[in-house]
Each structure stands twice: as C-alpha cells, then as structure tokens.
Structure 1
Amino acid sequence: MKERVSILDGNTFLVSDRRGNIEPSFDFPTGLFSFDTRFISTWILTLNGEKLHALSIDDGESYRTRFFMVPGEPTHYLDAKVSVIRSRSIGGSFDEELTLLNHAEQEVEFTLRLEIGSDFADLFEIKHQRQKKGRTTPSVGPNQLRLTYRREGFHREAVISTSAPADIDESGMTFRIRVGPHGEWTTRLHVATVIYGARGEDIRATLPLGGHRSVAAIQAEQDDLIDRAPKLGCDCEPLAGAYRRSLNDLAALRYESIALGVRLLAAGLPWFMTLFGRDSIFTSLQVLPFLPELVPPTILMLAGLQGSRLDDFRDEEPGKILHELRYGETAGFQEQPHSPYYGSADSTALFVILLDEYERWTGDDKLVRMLEHETRAALHWIDTYGDLLGTGYVSYLTRNPETGLQNQCWKDSWDGISFSDGRLPEFPRATCELQGYAYDAKLRGARLARTFWNDPAYAERLEREAAALKERFNRDFWIPEREYYALALDPDGRQVDALSSNIGHLLWSGIVDESRAAAVAGHLLGPRLFSGWGIRTLGDDQGRYNPIGYHVGTVWPFDNSIIAWGLWKYGFREEAGKICEGMLSASRYFDGRLPEAFAGYERDLTDYPVQYPTACSPQAWSAGTPLLLLRVMLGLEPGGEHLIIDPAVPPGMGRVELLDIPGRWGRVDALGRSRTPQEDRRDR
C-alpha cells in the first residue's frame, strides 16, 4: 500500500499521497472529504510539467502539515535549483500555501500547474465503485474555480480561490511566474466546501461553531482538551508516547454534528468519520476515566436517535440503538439505509452499560434520571426484538437482505462468524458476547432502577433474568471437551465452535462462571490466540484463520483492551499485563498511534507488527486503547464516592504515575510500579 498523509478536523479531512497529491482512487480513498462527500478528488501539483518529490514531511499535528519538495526523483536532488514548500491546514475548509524558492543565481521562469477536479463521490460510492447520478458543473470566475454538483435537491460545491494571479480553466490553475535570484514566490489557495440545505443555505453556517475554524482555534481547543486530561509520568517511553498520541487523536476526531450541533467523536479515518453506536460506546468507556465530559453528548445523541418504529429498510426496531449515522448522497436518496441505520445487535445493551458506568464514575444522576424511558426501552428490546427465536438469547438477522449488514456483532464482515472448520452458520446467529453484554446490561439496569428510578420490583426482575441467563449461557455455550465457550449458536442451537477472541468479552461482562475463568484466560493467552503483540480475532488453527483477514486472524487493539479489562476483573493481573505490554510495544512501530488492526503474525516471526493494508488510522477505539490499558495497569475502579486504586504494572515498565484523575471524588492521583527482579526473587 502506498503510504498516505492525512490531516483532519472532525468530519472534514484530507488524505493525499506522500507528494501531497490527490489522484482519483477507489482502492483507498484519497481526497478532501466532509460529511461523507469527497469535495476534491484531483489535486496534482507539477513544476514545469514534472511532479515533485518530498524531501521531508512535517506532519506532527493532526490539522496541518508541510511538504518540502523538489522536482524529479531522488537521484536528481544534488542538481535541484528550485524547491517548493506545500503548507496545508484544515478546519472545515482547506488551505494550502505554495512557496517556490529559486536557488539559482539568476532570474528563472517557472510554470506551476495545479490540476483540480471533484467527483463529489459519496463514501459508499467509493467503497462499492458506483457511478454518480447527478451532474458536476465547473465554472471559472476571477481568481477562483467553482465546482458544483446537483442531484435534485442534493447540492454541494467546492470553491477554490487563489491569492496570486493565475490562468484558470475548468480543470485547474496555471501560474506563470518569474522569480529573481535566490528569491521566492507564494500563493495561498483556499478550498471552501459548501453543504447546501433545503433553503439554499450552507448548513454548517447555522452550527454553533460555524463549520469553519482557524488553525489557531483548532489548536486552542485541542490544547484545552489535552490540558484537562490527567497528567502521566512514567518510565515506559512507549506508554508515554501512546498516551500523548491518543489524546491528540481523540481531540482531532471530535466533530460537530449537523443534526444537533454538539461535539461528538467520529469513529475513524477514512471510512468512519461519523457517529457509530458500538464504536462510540466502547470509545466512551475507554476515555471515561480521563475525559468524562466527552461522554454525555454521545449518550444523548444515541438516546435521541433511539429506534421508535419497525422499519425493515433501516433495521430499526423500538428501543434499538443505532449502528451508524451518515449524511451523504446515498443515505439521502435511500440507496443506503444509514440515515440512521440500526444494524447492530450489541449497541443497545452497550448503551445501558455505558450509562451506568458513566454514573458510577461521575455521580451524574441527573442524566440517568433524564434517560429512564430510553434505558427501559433498550432493556425491553433485549427481551423482545433482540430475542428473535424466543430462546432467551440475543441474536440477529437483518430485516433488509439487499443492503443490510449480515453480521450485526462487532465482527461484522461477511466471514467474521464461522465454525472451527471454516463453515458459516445460518441466520439468526446468537454470538456469545451478545449474551454477555445482555447479562451486564440487566445487572446495571437493576442498579439504576433500584438507586435512581425508585422501582425495586423492576430491579429484582432484572436480577432474576440476569441470573437465569448466566446459568443458561454456561450450559448451552460451554464446550466441555475444548474448555472454551462457543463463538455462537446457530438457529438450531448448535454450537458454532470456533476459538475466537470473543470469549475475552465474556470475562469483561462477568457472565463467565468462576470455575471456568482460568480455562478461558489460558486460551486467550495461549499460542493459538496470543501472537505476542496481542490476541488474534481467531485462533491460528481454525478453518478461516488468516493473519491478514479483517476479523479472522488480525489483532485489534480495542478488542485487546476490553479483554485486558475482563482479565483484570477476574483477577488475572499477569495475563492482563501481557496484553498491555504487547500492545504498548506494538505502538512504538506505529509512532504511538495504534491502528484499527494489524496482522496476526507471531511476534518471533516478524519482530515488528505488520500493518493491515486498509486499517483506519487514527481510529477512535484504537486511540482509546492505551487509556483503558492504563486504567487496567493502575487498577482504577469507582467504589461509591471513592476511587479504588489497585495497581499491577507489568514487569519492565517501572514507575507509572497518573495525576488528577477526575470523577465523583474530585481529582485524585494514582501511582504504581512494576516489581523489580530482586523483589520477585525475595518473594519466591
């Protein structure tokens, strides 16, 4: 895969090649995007008809970058008499400053050309390579090129302007310039992305932040967010680097929702720059001990868009929490059901879990009381629409066989759920972790009902249902001869017997019988699942195992963070520490930024984690992973009005100190350190 360079500010982002160029592509989306539309698909700079090559790239900040460039290939550098600096930034719109430096001792004429174009492709059209149904019209004005796309009431524009005189045509701008000896020339290019509403206005202009922000405003907001997070001091440089990078990426992934005008966390660049039910909830759980103020907007948005009717096209059902919200053309014309789409069987239970965990951490009972109706509706969904077969288990089968998701658990690729021999089960499928989430949601719902809703009878009912579910689950999902839980049950109740990372989520939920927890932990850290860097999504001896298969053998950082949390809950601190060490060691090879997923090769085989070709980076729940691992290592757990701190720092990490941890207790500090070899020998 060609390496890409990206800048982003919330839902507006730009992805280019390492020359800074954007060329039409469908294998991996490059371009300037905002709210699911590609506003620029061609942006190619040439000097005297020749493409430039980057000597160096300064991309240390998420919202701006600089390319230091010369003409020709690397073998020509010694003779370069001219260089170009491309300085770009993003903040709802896109700005690029071009500076040409003449290093010769005489005046030189140059022709600088910028090819510009837009296909106004929807992200789903890029994924599935669909043809556009509207019409793009270019028009040339004084110092600007306007690209307009219309399809009935759907209207988008990209307006490109320049500060220096140029010959502008419908496909770009040409600058014919003379630069004196050792002189320089500069122009500033501005790309305004316009999303028109029904009354002909730019929708984002009505938002509190206006949709467009200066670099200074972006930097101030990100700095303020990072300053509010706890301060980390540690001896482990990979942990320190990953923590800094995570906070920066989470700050960059925040965007302003068109629907409500609140700041939300987008799921990941480039495919998922929007609200996702499952992803947003897991990310909120990860960041809760560090930046709890980021969580309420997500909870409120998900509650506000909770399903209220039966809609087969959108997989909507009363009480169900959404899967994905999109703003693009295909959603607007109902060619995709994402306005919003409800095709996930786990986000509803996870919503209840998040609300309870948020109150336990912050003491914000007002939100819990406000959302009593929505929480009850979510719990009701688990027992009604969620229980498709009437077996007492949550399972899924899309209502929309044409465009709905087949797999509606977190492993939602077509082959993500399989038997150990590689066969695919029929639908509906009841995956194991869905039952764990339902169990946890019932217990947490019971706490909310008893403590805040003054309904002890409802609380007792939920507790009885949770206990019955746990007993039934441990009977039906456990495979005695293999000593692990089945990945799923098929429609006939047969065990889908693949060994997968899903069993780690069962520990997190608490549904695992205590007598079986050690066996589960042993499989998770055993050679079939644990690569040395992390736990694979599928055991390496299973029929569909592929170390570079999306959900069938790769290592997902978010998955590992939840599993580490589950191991910690059951007292397997050493095993949780191995995951923490592997993940943080892997982060060094990604400049501190854990990607969506990486290959499941053995650590001893490759000596470094191998990139997954199309992984999102940054991605919210991967950015949240180092935060949750830090919580696990320090043993942070809310206990009433106090924070329980019970550290178990993995060997070799030394001191880990986290200051000003926010919560209902105010702000407190936590300190842990790994044991020295001398201490280990003494205790033995």
Structure 2
Amino acid sequence: MSAEVVTQVAVASRIVEVVAEQPFYIPMTGPAARPRRSLKHDDTFIVLDSHGDIGASAGGPDGLFHCDTRYLARLELVLDDLQPLLLGSNLRDDNSALTVDLTNPDIYREGRIVLQKDMLHIVRTIFLWRGTAYQRIGVQNHGDRPASFDMTLLFDSDFADLFEVRGEKRKRRGTGSSRLNGPTDVVFEYRGLDEAERAAALHFDPRPSRLSVNAATWQLELEPHQAKSLFVAVSCNRPPTLKPARFFAGLLAHRREMRQSTMGAASIETSNNIFNEVLCQAMADLNMLMTDTPQGRYPYAGIPWYSTTFGRDGLITALQMLWIDPRIAKGVLRRLAHFQAKRNDALADANPGKILHEMRGGEMAALREVPFAQYYGSVDSTALFVLLAGRYFERTGDEATLTELWPAIEMALSWIDGPGDPDGDGFVEYQRASEQGLANQGWKDSYDAIFHADGALAEGYIALAEVQGYVFAAKQLAARCALRLRMPDKAARLMTEAAALAERFEQAFWCDDLGFYALALDGAKRPCKVRTSNAGQLLFSGMIREDRARKVAADLMRPHFFSGWGIRTVALGEVRYNPMSYHDGSIWPHDNALIALGLARYGLKHSVAHVFKGLFDAASYMDLRRLPELFCGFRREKRRGPTLYPVACAPQAWASATPFTLLEAALGIEFDVARNEIRLRNPHLPAFVYEVALHDLRLGESSVDLRVRRHGDDVALEVLRTRGQIQVSIVLTR
C-alpha cells in the first residue's frame, strides 16, 4: 500500500537509481520510544503508547482519529509535572479496552521526598465507542500516610489530515480555535479549507481544580488505602448539548455490542493452546476492524494507515473468512457495488464498472490534494469482486443477493473486457491515469515491485500474472451464477472466454528457462522473468496446468522461497531481492494463505502443512500472538524469532484472517448447498495440532459441530451435533 518514485541517472557509464519519496510513501525516521497500542470502533481509532499517552514519546503515529482526521494530538498524564512509571499495559482479549498500570516516581518538593516511589497505583482504562474515547483514571494510595499531589492531563488538537500525519506537507491549512465550555468542558474547533466544521469536545468528571484549554489539573489528597476515580471523554463531532455516556454504562454497552456482532460465526478450538491464542487474537482483531456501514459490516484494512474501506483488502479478507462467516462477504460486496465507478475520472483512475481501491473522508481527499476520496487505482479489485460474488453464492445459495448484485457483476465484467484491457490482447493490465495516482496497481504496489531479471523496472501497460488468474476464476464463477439466473448463453460465453484466457496465459507467461511463470508482461509484452510469489497465487485461481502447477509448488517450498517462516514475495537470488523490503523479499501472511489454498486445490497437503507450521511458529513469537501485515524474509535460525518490519500495520485484516484460511486449506472444507453437505477434501492436520473442533459451522439454515483428529497422515471425523438437515463427509482423492 505504500509507494515510491525512482528515476535513473547516468553517472560514469553506470545507472544510479535516485529514490524520491512518492507523495503517499510512509516514512520511518526513527524507532518508537514506547510500544504502541491501538483501539478502533467504526470510523474512529486511537493510537496510544504503552503508558496510555498520546504524543508523549517520539516515533509513533499517535492520536485520536475520526474519518481520516486527527482530533486529538496530545493526551499526557503527569504527577506533579513528572511522568508516572510503567508497571504494565494490556489489551483485553476482545480488544474492547486498553488497561495501563502505573505508579509514581519519587516526588520531591524543596529538595525533600514528599511521596516515595511506588506508593500510588494508577490504572488507566481506555475504550472507544460511537465516536468517543473514554478514559477512567483510578488512583489508590497504598502508603501508610496521606498523599497529596497534583494529577494533570495535558492535551491538544491539530486536526491534521491522516496524510499529513503520514508526512505530507501542505502549503495552507484551515483555521482552528479552542475554548472553555464551562468548568468541566473544553472544545477544539477547526474549519477546513473544504468548508467542513470539525470539533473535539473534552468532558472531565469530576470538575478539575484548574482547567485551561490545554490542561486539566486535580489537586488530590488521599488517605492511606483511599481510592479515587477521574474520568475524561473526548468526542469527535458530537453536538455540544449531547453529553457522552457514563464510563461504565458505555463500556458495558460496547462489550455487549461486540459480543452480539460475532454471534452466528463458527468458532474453533484446537488441541494446541498457543494456536488457540492465535485464533482468538485474530478473531478479536477482525471484529475490531469490522465497521458498520449503510451497506453492511466491512473489514477496514488496518491500523493506523488503512482504517478505511479498501476494495482489495476487504474482498480478500471476505474470501478468507467465507467458510466461517459469509455475512462478511455480503457486506463487502454490497458496499463495493454501491461505490462501483459510474464515469471516467483520470485523477481517481475510474472507469465505469471498476471496483473501488480506497476511499477517504479527510480534508485533503475532499480538496483532491490526494486522489483518494474515491480512488479506483487497483487492477485486481474488479475481478476479485466478481470472484467473491461467485464464491459467496456457492457458499450460501443466496439467490436474492446474487440477483441484487448481478448488474454490478455485469458492469465489472464489461470493465474487464473493455477499459481493463486497453490494447485488446486479452489480458487485464494497468497504467496509472494520473501522476498523482499509484504507479503499481496490483497488491504489490511499491515502486520497485514489478521488474525484469536485470532489475529494470517494467514500464507501459503491465499485465500481472495473478490478476489473469483472478479473471479466469471470476469468469468461471460468473458463468455458474449466470446458469442459476437462467442465462445459459452468457454462461457458455464466459466459460469459453475463461478457457481461452488459460491457453493464452500459458503461451505468454510460462518461461521454459525458469521453469516458472513470469511475474508480469510489460508494455512491450516482454515477460518479467522473475521468480515471485505471484505465481503461487495462480495455484489459488486454478488456471494453470497441473504439471506446471506442481513445478511452481515445488519451487515455492525450496529455500530460496521458503524462509522457514513462510514464502517470500521474491525468491532469494533475484536481483532486487531484499528481505527487509516491502514487497521484494518480505513475507506477507495473506499471500501465504492464498498460496496455501492453491496448494490444497492441487492436492499438495504436505506443502500446506509446511506453510501452516511456519506461519504458526512466526505468530507464536509475535506480540499478542498477532500476525502483522508483513515481516522480514530473513532465513529462519534456531532459537530466534522472525524479524519484524518497522511500519507494518498490526492489526491488519487479511493478516488476521490468515490463520483461518490456513485451517481451511488444511481441512479442505467445501460447501455444497444443493446437497446440504459439508465436505472435507483430503484433510491433513499439521504436526502441531492433533485435534480441531468446529462449532456452529453453518450451511443455509442448518449447522453442525464436528471434531477432526489426526492419526499419522490420516484423520478421523466425528460429528458432535447437528441442527437441521445437514451431511458431513470426508472425500479422499489422489
């Protein structure tokens, strides 16, 4: 999702690359002084440090953000002008709240200690709900004498656009102001250049002893063992007459809503406690990233930089979670159909029928200082939309939703065959329509991700390998949907087009000298003869010949690709390989997950188990057992964990969905609506799990609880309970 610009300069008969920052590049200028924690609810998220502060330490994108604008840039707790000492901080298992435990340092007055360290226990509890950040500060005196001290919250707002926080420079900004609104409230206001009014309102309870537009101070005197609570609520764009909910009432309502939102999804329990923790964290992260929209719940891509509607991310996340909760796919499809492009717009890279890449609600997007208000610069989202629609229908049999979506599906197919193929060669390709847009428009969108064997960057209209696979699968699935909607001629045409694409692809992309598929074709139709994970996603689409699929799969499991933690995006030995890069040698969990589904499709379950084990081991080393967006591609070494990538999103939706996809690939789960049957095709559990129990796995109006146990390379299936008419079977194929 980040990008750079590269120019080539001739110096003393050699080519030197001069790299300049793309406008939307995410810089990393130094390490974070304190670890960061994130919370999100709908269109609001907050990034705090381990002390529960905002803006008190360097190196983090701190703030309270709402609709791509930072409403609070500082919220720092001090005791008599000193920072408290950290005891520990933890997110609740369901991500509903952050709890921080602090204590006091030695406090001096006039050269004498008046409060010895570790006498006060300070607990900060923070949660987000309905556009408001709530915080309780509980303090208890554990000393044997009275404690007298000032507790102060320092705060400020800058109403910076998210892209400003990421490093964009603006020549002009709107006007801001701050004011007291009585003895317990402070209001920050901002009128943007887009004429939008934005406001952050802070409410304190009880009334502070002193209150200014940047600080609230309570003069506290606590007897031995006495406790006291202070509360602050920071609301984004809340009408001044509407006070926030009381802290505990809001927290209980928030947790109740979170529990209700997960009802109806299948649950999983395994014999491996660490893997159970990975699954629980992943589900909690996905639930936090889900956002209620007018079209349904949508998984926002990631925190902090991508907490908004992304087409590709939402589509792939919904595909990954389709077997557990198809309602996610329904929300994604309906929202993307609603925002499907209706006209040509070069700045937005839009053509009729194209599916959204990204949308933003901040001031810079409204003013078109960045092109992302509704931006369509992805080459793969449109085919993925059709693919997901077909998969959703096969998973659910929901003909009403298919009928609702069919006009959007037909528009998407028209884009694929029309503007998506500008030179008419039968491949979907891209070239950005505006210099402000993304240069590379596949999922590997950094400036140097698409290159030739000598390292030269691909130019002109670029046809990515995996995108052709998405188109193939999309047309096959759309054909089956057309049959269901009683359009046999359209179905036959789509199947013929898919078969022709597969044949054309083999001729253009297979490289005999590599024994592998090219990464892409450039504008001159020259193949980029580079070994990359893009070829692995061709397994997922099922487009390629079985003999060649097995060659690709075997290569992916060799050390130049498989690091021990997962499959690298670019094979070691390629000229641009860099294990610390964003896309040229790093490991992306979701990429591995889609490859694992492809390996399972071709019956390569031992390879699935290998990938599964590597990513499980990586997750076991990660903070909170949370797989990040990506991590570095260094070779695995004994008694060492994986190397992290410094600006990876965590949580990130498709990374969070990865453990569930790996389990789907291992078990070979299939759904047959017509026969009301769930099948496990060639199930094979990895070595670290000998038992998996699935509860409330649904098909139509029926559901089942089942248990799978490993016995060597074989498994045994036990149906624990059924509700309604449903069948479960194991299918073994060679």
Q: Same fold, TM exceeding 0.5?
A: yes
Displacement of 1:587 in angstroms is 1.5
List structure 1 segments (4+ residues) > 6 angstroms apart after TM superposition. none
Aligned-partner Cα distance in 1 for 2:148–2:176:
35
Aligned with 1:163 (options 205, 208, 232): 205
Aligned with 2:228 (options 150, 170, 185): 185
Aligned with 2:382 (options 321, 333, 348): 348
**What is the aligned partner in structure 2 of residue 373 from structure 1?**
407
Aligned with 2:124 (options 69, 83, 86): 86
Aligned-partner Cα distance in 1 for 2:241–2:175:
20
Q: Deviations over 1:116-156 (max 9, x none)?
A: 01111111111133246111201112211111111252111
Q: Deviations over 1:177-223 (max 9, x none)?
A: 22223323321111111178xxx999xx9xxx9xx992222212222
8 Å CA contact retained: 1:222, 1:248: no
Aligned with 1:524 (options 556, 581, 597): 556
Mapping 1:596-607, distance limit 5 Å: 596-604=629-637, 607=640
Aligned-partner Cα distance in 1 for 2:56–2:159:
11
Aligned-partner Cα distance in 1 for 2:420–2:711:
46
Structure ranking higher in helix proportion:
1
Displacement of 1:400 in angstroms is 1.3
**What is the aligned partner in structure 2 of residue 154 from structure 1?**
196
Aligned-partner Cα distance in 2 for 1:39–1:214:
20
Displacement of 1:397 in angstroms is 0.7
Aligned with 2:174 (options 115, 121, 134): 134
Structure 1: unaligned runs, 5 residues or longer: 680-684
Aligned-partner Cα distance in 1 for 2:175–2:507:
59
Q: Deviations over 1:87-129 (max 9, x none)?
A: 2111120111112223333333212221101111111111133
Mapping 1:387-536, distance limit 5 Å: 387-401=421-435, 403-452=436-485, 454-536=486-568
Aligned-partner Cα distance in 1 for 2:59–2:119:
36
**What is the aligned partner in structure 2 of residue 233 from structure 1?**
269
Aligned-partner Cα distance in 2 for 1:103–1:245:
34
Aligned-partner Cα distance in 1 for 2:413–2:406:
11
Aligned with 1:274 (options 308, 321, 328): 308
Aligned-partner Cα distance in 1 for 2:713–2:503:
43
Q: Which moved more, 1:104-113 or 1:137-146?
A: 104-113
**What is the aligned partner in structure 1 of residue 569 from structure 2?**
537
Displacement of 1:52 in angstroms is 1.3
Mapping 1:11-50, distance limit 5 Å: 11-23=43-55, 28-50=60-82
Mapping 1:211-230, distance limit 5 Å: 214-230=250-266
**What is the aligned partner in structure 1 of residue 362 from structure 2?**
328
8 Å CA contact retained: 2:347, 2:433: yes
**What is the aligned partner in structure 2 of residue 682 from structure 1?**
none
Q: Which amino acid aligns with 1:244?
A: C
Aligned-partner Cα distance in 2 for 1:657–1:134:
56
**What is the aligned partner in structure 1 of residue 16 from structure 2?**
none
Aligned-partner Cα distance in 2 for 1:498–1:426:
15
Rate the CA distance shift 1:660–1:80 in 2: closer, same or farther, 3 A.
closer
Aligned-partner Cα distance in 1 for 2:561–2:238:
46
TM-score, normalising length from structure 1?
0.93
**What is the aligned partner in structure 1 of residue 662 from structure 2?**
629
> Which secondary structure state, in structure 1, belongs to the residue aligned with residue 450 of structure 2?
coil
Mapping 1:243-392, distance limit 5 Å: 243-257=279-293, 260=294, 262-392=296-426
Rate the CA distance shift 1:469–1:14 in 2: closer, same or farther, 3 A.
same
> Which secondary structure state, in structure 2, belongs to the residue aligned with residue 494 of structure 1?
coil
Q: Deviations over 1:492-526 (max 9, x none)?
A: 11111121111111011111111211110011111
Residue 644 (str. 1) matches residue 679 (str. 2): yes
Q: Which amino acid aligns with 2:502?
A: K
8 Å CA contact retained: 1:505, 1:563: yes
Q: Which amino acid aligns with 1:337?
A: P
8 Å CA contact retained: 1:11, 1:34: yes
8 Å CA contact retained: 1:147, 1:157: yes
Aligned-partner Cα distance in 1 for 2:257–2:579:
39
**What is the aligned partner in structure 2 of residue 194 from structure 1?**
237
Q: Deviations over 1:558-614 (max 9, x none)?
A: 111100001100111111111111112211122332111111111126721222111
> Which secondary structure state, in structure 1, belongs to the residue aligned with residue 230 of structure 2?
strand
Identical aligned residues as a percent: 34
Aligned length: 664
Aligned-partner Cα distance in 1 for 2:439–2:56:
30
Displacement of 1:648 in angstroms is 1.2
Q: Which moved more, 1:583-592 or 1:622-631?
A: 583-592
Displacement of 1:226 in angstroms is 3.6
Displacement of 1:24 in angstroms is 7.3
> Which secondary structure state, in structure 1, belongs to the residue aligned with residue 84 of structure 2?
strand
Aligned-partner Cα distance in 2 for 1:396–1:25:
42
8 Å CA contact retained: 2:78, 2:151: yes
Q: Which amino acid aligns with 1:96?
A: Q
Aligned-partner Cα distance in 2 for 1:541–1:201:
64
Aligned-partner Cα distance in 2 for 1:383–1:358:
23
Displacement of 1:227 in angstroms is 4.2
Q: Which moved more, 1:276-285 or 1:441-450?
A: 441-450
Structure 2: unaligned runs, 5 residues or longer: 1-30, 107-112, 716-734
8 Å CA contact retained: 2:455, 2:576: yes
